[in-house]
Each structure stands twice: as structure tokens, then as C-alpha cells.
């Protein structure tokens, strides 16, 4: 740490001793390096959050299941769950009163039906966000693979009569 502070001082031709809180410019990292993909892992003794330090290969995660309309959590992002799902056919019309609905098509093509509006085709590489409170229905003639982001605890079924999926972690 001292050598880094010295290098910074030389680089800027000014000593760091005159900078308020200079000793805190280079400090112990806030996070521990780890390979966990679950931000809920907290060390009780250090209270440091363990963050993922390796890529999540979505194609590998999608190969782990074949069910439709069954989102699987692959990571946590702030207070959200990042999920992958496969689907074919129609989901019931529904809405989410408290949150937007995020769809990013990874493979295939889906149609988003919005109540009272024309349908929207969403292709691989395209993103569609349904604003909160808007009645919608995702559907696909052929199997589609989609990345979803939802707040933790938000049922994927919204206000429909369909039971929410369990959101298994993989």
C-alpha cells in the first residue's frame, strides 16, 4: 500500500500527505474474492459480501432443464433475480402492479401481446420491457429462450390464476 501511495505521489508530483484522508485512498477491499454466484452468502465474522468472480454461461444453464414456463435463477443483481426460462405456447394475460417485466430474448422469437394494443414480435438479441400495471401475455409458436430480471419475491404469474413457478436456483 505504501509503494502505491508513493507511486501516486510521484505520478502527480505532489505528496499525498496534504490530501485529506490520504491514508484511506488505498484501503482494504470491501469485498472478498470468491466464485459464489449467490449474493446472499455473507461472512458472519467479517460482514463482507462474497461476489461472483467468474462468468455465468447462460447456454450451460439453459441446458440443465427442459421444462417450459419454469424460470431458473442464475444470479442475483442488487435486489433482483436474474433468470433464464424456456417457453412455448401462451402464458395467461396478467399484470404486475408493483414492477416492470423485463424480457431479453436469447434464442428464438416470442410475441408480446399487450391488452388493447397491437402485438410485438421480439427476436433474439432484442429486449422488451412491460411497464408495471400493463396487462400482457408472452407467447411463442416455437420454443424460445429468454433472460428475465425480476425483484426477489415477485411471482412470475402476476395477477393471473396460474400458480407462480418455484424459481429454482441453478
Domain that holds residue 152: 58-169
Are 102 and 136 part of one and the same domain? Answer: yes
Q: Are residues 157 and 94 in the same domain?
A: yes
**Residue 170: how many other CB atoms lie within 10 Å:** 14
Check whether residue 96 and residue 142 sit in a common domain.
Answer: yes
Read out DSSP for 97-139?
A: SSS-EEEEEEESEEEEEETTS--EEEETT-EEEEPTT--EEEE
pLDDT at residue number 156: 74
pLDDT one digit per residue (tens) for the chain, 170 residues: 444 444 444 444 444 455 455 454 444 444 444 434 444 444 444 455 666 578 999 999 999 999 999 999 999 999 999 999 999 999 999 999 999 999 999 999 999 999 999 999 999 999 999 999 999 999 999 999 999 999 998 877 777 777 777 788 99
Beta strands 136-151 and 109-114: pairing type?
antiparallel
Kindly state whether residues 45 and 8 are assigned to the same domain: yes
Identify whether residues 45 and 72 lie together within a single domain. no
| Total domains, the chain | 2
- What is the pTM (predicted TM-score) of this model? 0.68
Q: Do residues 146 and 85 make contact, with C-beta atoms less than 8 angstroms apart? A: yes
Amino acid at each position: 500500500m505504501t509503494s502505491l501511495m508513493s507511486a501516486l505521489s510521484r505520478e502527480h508530483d505532489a505528496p499525498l500527505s496534504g490530501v485529506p484522508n490520504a491514508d484511506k485512498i488505498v484501503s482494504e477491499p470491501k469485498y472478498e474474492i470468491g466464485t459464489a454466484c449467490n449474493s446472499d452468502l455473507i461472512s458472519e465474522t467479517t460482514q463482507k459480501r462474497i461476489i461472483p468472480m467468474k462468468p455465468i454461461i447462460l447456454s450451460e444453464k439453459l441446458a440443465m432443464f427442459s421444462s417450459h414456463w419454469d424460470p431458473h435463477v442464475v444470479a442475483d443483481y442488487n435486489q433482483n433475480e436474474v433468470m433464464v426460462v424456456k417457453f412455448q405456447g401462451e402464458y395467461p394475460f396478467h399484470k404486475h402492479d408493483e414492477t416492470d417485466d423485463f424480457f431479453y430474448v436469447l434464442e428464438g422469437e416470442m410475441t408480446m401481446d399487450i391488452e388493447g394494443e397491437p402485438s410485438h414480435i421480439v427476436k433474439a438479441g432484442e429486449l422488451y420491457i412491460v411497464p408495471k400495471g400493463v396487462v400482457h401475455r408472452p407467447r411463442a409458436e416455437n420454443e424460445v429462450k429468454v433472460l428475465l430480471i425480476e425483484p426477489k419475491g415477485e411471482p412470475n404469474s402476476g395477477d393471473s390464476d396460474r400458480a407462480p413457478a418455484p424459481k429454482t436456483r441453478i
